[in-house]
Amino acid sequence: MSSLPALRKPSRRKNLWFERLMAIAATANLALVAFDLSYIPWRDFWLRRVTILPITQWYDPIKGIEPHRDTQQYLESVDLLTQELSTRGLQSNQVQQQLQELRDRSAEMVQNNPFQVANKSGTFEKIKNRMRERVFGQRQGASARIAFETFWSRDYLTQRGVEDELQFFDRDIRPLLSTNYYRTIGENGEFTDRFWRIDSPFVILFGLEFLARSFYLSRRYQSLSWLDAMLWRWYDVFLLIPFWRWLRVIPVALRLEQAGLLSWERVRTQASQGFIANISEELAEVVVVQVIDRIQTSIRQGEFARWVAQTAARPYVDINQRDEIQELTSHILKLTVYSVLPKVKPDLEALLRHNVEAILSQSPAYQTLKMVPLVGDVPRQMNERLITEITEGAYGAIVAALEDKVGAELLSKLIKKFGESLVTEVQDQRSLQELQSLATDLLEEIKINYVKRFSSDEVEGVLEETRQIRWVDRG
């Protein structure tokens, strides 16, 4: 099992034609499964709308469907009445007997509802409503049994016209009666279903292919066991099981893509992005909050203090004979001295000038000297010169220290001593308690102000950036 992820399928298959042939066979099988699952709900469509092919005559035996005896005999009685009317007329005794038989059958049909077994009671209600409306001119408030008795009476047919009423029956009632059926039940108590006769050749074909492919893979890759070879194409098992046949859409979709007949990349991308958009907000919030809570718990339990102590006592492991902290500090210091300080030097002089002026302004002697004629501006000039010399001298001293090897060593010792002193002071009990309290409060504020404000709009923005990056890469 561990060797499975390391295996790679060849990019160019020599048996691509076989893959496509089997993909087409799987698609045909899935189409038959879909037709079988939808046949009962769509049987009226195949019976009444499709007249080119006798689909119901072919497929009814597969589902154990037979004409319902009661409704079939009812329609045969109507056909016999039509024959008697054409030869003997409405006033003959044979026609009267036939009308009485139809009235009896109608009363029995209304009472027993022969459509219930086929789960077509709605169709039966439609028949009764049409008969009520035809006889009484309304669908509600009238008896369906009386409507049928009235319809199959000599006086009604004489008054309304035999030909018109029989045309109404053939046009509006007969098609609904013909949709009724009886479905046989097997010894297992379930409705008869012989779809396995159609499905068996496909199952045998896919089973042989599954075994042959597993044998081939186990022989080609010595580290692959027979079970691992079967699990390689685990989804093909859905083609072999005789139940839950709708799951065959999974291997069919994968086979069509593997054979190069269809590509589900766009569907997969949209589905994954939609899934990510739905869960990323909650997932990100849960993960970040959990991490922060874990850090807060560690700080409260004193793990931060133990880490500081262990860090101070544990010897440092150097893997490349370089002091990265010293070099990093030196690099930042040089960047600050050579690039940052020259830019902020005017602002620094202004700040120093302001501070010196504020201190000297509190001296009575300085205030008296400023009021002496021809001398009052001298203190200001001296201050500016002093400040300039101080900043220039300090800047020059820093630069000289950086460029001097001895100065660099002294600076390195200073940084090292600073770090050691900082760790020592941090281990102080009062300092640790204060740092722990501040860190815990800071993390709590981060949770409230940033993590819980992570909205779905931000998620959509991240997904949009991801789509832009993928589009640029493909371009």
Residue 181 β-bridge partners: 67
Burial of 156 (C-beta count, 10 Å sphere; 0-12/13-18/19+): middle
Q: 168: pLDDT confidence band, cut at 50, 70 and 90? A: very high
Averaged pLDDT for residues 162-175: 93
Reply yes or no on whether the pLDDT at 300 is more than 90. no
Which has the higher per-residue pLDDT, 463 or 341? 341
**51 inside domain:** no
CA distance 140 to 158: 25
**402 inside domain:** yes
CA distance 349 to 390: 9
Q: Are 128 and 139 in contact (CB under 8 A)?
A: no
Residue at a domain's end among 150, 167, 183:
183
**53 inside domain:** no
Residue at a domain's end among 183, 217, 249:
183
**120 inside domain:** yes
CA distance 207 to 217: 15
**435 inside domain:** yes
Q: 8: pLDDT confidence band, cut at 50, 70 and 90? A: very low
Q: Which domain holds residue 366?
A: 331-447
27-31, 37-41, 467-471: lowest mean pLDDT where? 467-471
Q: How many domains does the chain have?
A: 2
Rounded (5°) CA angle 216-263-249:
70
What's the confidence (pLDDT) of residue 10? 43
Averaged pLDDT for residues 164-180: 93
Q: 100: pLDDT confidence band, cut at 50, 70 and 90? A: very high
| CB neighbours of residue 302 within 10 Å | 12
Share of the chain above pLDDT 70, in %: 58
CA distance 256 to 20: 7
**411 inside domain:** yes
What's the confidence (pLDDT) of residue 7? 38
**198 inside domain:** no
What's the confidence (pLDDT) of residue 371? 59
Residue at a domain's end among 183, 208, 229:
183
Q: Are 95 and 145 in contact (CB under 8 A)?
A: no
Q: Tokens 């049928």, residue?
A: 148
| Cβ neighbours for 203, distance < 8 A, ≥ 6 positions apart | 239, 240, 242
179-188, 234-243, 305-314: lowest mean pLDDT where? 305-314
Tens of pLDDT, residue by residue over 425-465, are 656 666 666 666 777 777 676 666 655 555 545 555 555 65
83-87, 219-223, 269-273, 366-370: lowest mean pLDDT where? 366-370
Averaged pLDDT for residues 318-327: 59
CA distance 56 to 72: 16
What's the confidence (pLDDT) of residue 11? 40
Which has the higher per-residue pLDDT, 219 or 146? 146
Tens of pLDDT, residue by residue over 244-264, are 999 999 999 988 888 888 777
What's the confidence (pLDDT) of residue 4? 38
Pairing of strands 181-183, 65-67: antiparallel
**252 inside domain:** no
Q: Are 184 and 66 in contact (CB under 8 A)?
A: yes
CA distance 175 to 173: 6
